[in-house]
Structure 1
């Protein structure tokens, strides 16, 4: 019998997604694929070359840059607020529990911004840089591409409380994941596709310790191998790959879930006897379907509540307001 709570949540998520579609549509209508065509024609090539150089040097950074964009968009929209350092007037998002110690790549964005300021001062926003960098990082690691609309402006503030509330944590169960993503206008299918971003990158021991010692829906040899990396206490920053091919953007993440080898509790929740099991099976056997659905979901995420027109500003330094 279907779980009535999850079923009602599914319906609510669909309704919310339908309503937010129009809001997102109005926001993205102010964005343009060719926004910098005349004001900074070299912008996209500067970003692409920087991402290529960075990921070639350290493949893991590709996942970090994608994660940086995801977190930025999940907290009050894709506005570059995650890049702001704390000030006397506010404690920013960098200090939030889901972000502190888990997010990296700020220096990569700083470097790209400096190049763009040298080429075309006061033109390219930090929010747009994050958006393009995420797409280019996925492509660099062998994943799909998608059309990125441009013209976002940067937030002049950040919210610690929203960062702590909005980011789904590694201990989230399925209903919590559905709720977190539905609040941002994503369907269950889009949520599962976006979770596939965990096909690249690594996680800290503190984010998967409880699973490898306490969960029962876990492959025993896999749990033991992770316990060798992550002891019961200490070693919080020890790293483990999110899937067994963590520097290649593919569908191995979903194959791992079928074998109960999801690294974090929230990962394995997608294949744990719930109605997302069928989506995991589909993506595990159809890499092209996953790639297409992921690209479409990312294009939608890129347009979460962007600041446009006269809202916000174009920061000269992504770490502080002008």
Structure 2
């Protein structure tokens, strides 16, 4: 009985070890199964992003919105069904772009290696390559993610950081997915590229406390400029605004300059000035663009590993918008 018990324990330990090994992402995961996968993604991005640089911000945002809700499992790419409203159709995600771009890349990879490369890995690699294609930082993307089969709009409101969140709420949401205060400030630096809609800041400009006032933490000259030349009405739902005026397609530290001048577009940008710790992190980024790039790379690699599905979890979708059994 003693030897049998020992053997059972040994088997259990080996299974646990194998499971632990499978749960780890790794660089070059597809080297044997689909050696051309990453090059196919890189080539497509390099061919198209220079002609549509604004897509880099959209694809990075898509990756961020995916990872914060149920982990980096491409659940944000799934369509709603007759019985379920998916993440992409929740209010915070209605302005997401880049779905067709990801689906096109997925089709190219599928043609090369059917059923091998996950949509989650395609999204993670595409976000990295797109940012790098416009002169931004390059970061490691270990692969081996699998795709989730569940996507619920309600989960978005529970997990996704919002433009109106204060520092306490942001810290909580980042900590919930294993990211710290430094990651919060560094990843906010992604606002150096891209655009937003007037509807996102309408309340901040026109009715901050419900009395027809403007957020006092927003530079008054900037606020006036926004109201007279961009967002001329609280009901403007269509006008686009640069997150980092003058350099929305350039990945640099100018976003932090805007924040220091109290010209961060969102309340979530302005709140980075409300603590000594976050102000210190901002000051450090302003010392060196390359330093910021290095920090951003580290934080993106961490973010890309949030609650990933590996091994036998989830599936490898044939099409990113639908699960395989639908």
Matches of 1:172 and 1:58, distance apart in 2: 30
Could you tell me how far apart the structure 1 residues matched to 2:118 and 2:59 are?
A: 16
Q: Which residue of 1 aligns with 2:323?
A: 321
Contact 1:28 1:149 in 2 (8 A): no
For the 8 Å contact 1:283–1:289, the answer to whether it is kept is yes
* CA-atom RMSD in angstroms: 1.5
Q: Using the alignment, how far apart are the partners of 1:71 and 1:114 within structure 2?
A: 22
Q: Which residue of 1 aligns with 2:177?
A: 184
| SS at 2:295 equivalent | helix
Helix, strand or coil: the match of 1:275? helix
- 1:81-131 deviations in whole A, cap 9, x for unaligned? 00000113421101212112x211000001101111111111110000011
Match of 1:208 in 2: 201
Query: Does 1:112 find its partner at 2:105?
Result: yes
For the structure 1 residues 28 and 162, does the alpha-carbon distance in structure 2 shift closer, same or farther, using more than 3 Å as the test?
farther
- Counterpart mapping for 1:17-166 below 5 A: 30-100=24-94, 102-166=95-159
1:217 and 1:272 in contact (8 A); partners too = no
Cα displacement (A) at 1:237:
2.2
CA distance in 1, matches of 2:177, 2:150: 20
1:174 and 1:269 in contact (8 A); partners too: yes
Shift of residue 30 of structure 1?
2.2
1:165-216, CA deviations, whole angstroms, 9 ceiling, x for partnerless residues? Answer: 1111111111111111111111111110011011110011111222234111
2:291 maps to 289
Partner secondary structure for residue 164 of structure 1: helix
Deviates more, 1:31-40 or 1:126-135: 31-40
Q: Structure 2 residue aligned with 1:306, among 308, 319, 326?
A: 308
Which stretch of structure 1 is more off in the superposition, 127-136 or 235-244?
A: 235-244
> In structure 2, how many angstroms separate the alpha carbons of the residues matched to 1:253 and 1:272?
17
Q: Secondary structure at the match of 1:98?
A: helix
Does the CA-based 8 Å contact 2:117-2:316 persist in structure 1?
yes
Q: Runs of 5+ in structure 2 lacking a partner?
A: 1-19, 207-213
Question: Which residue in 2 is equivalent to 1:279?
Answer: 281
Question: 2 CA distance for matches of 1:296 and 1:28?
Answer: 23
Give the corresponding residue for 2:226: 226
Q: 1:175 aligned to 168, 173, 186, which one?
A: 168
**Higher gyration radius (CA):** 2
Aligned to 2:17: none
Alpha-carbon distance between aligned partners in 2 of 1:310 and 1:177, rounded to the nearest angstrom: 32
Tell me, which stretches of 5 or more residues in structure 1 are unaligned? 1-25
Q: Please, what TM-score do these two structures have when normalized by structure 1?
A: 0.88
Q: TM-score, normalised by structure 2?
A: 0.87
Offset at residue 265 of structure 1 (A)? 1.2
Aligned length: 296
For 1:177 and 1:105, locate their aligned partners in 2 and report how far apart those are by CA, in whole Å.
25
Determine if contact 1:28/1:303 at 8 Å carries over to the other structure.
no
Larger mean CA deviation between 36-45 and 123-132 belongs to 36-45
Distance 1:208 1:141 in 2: 27
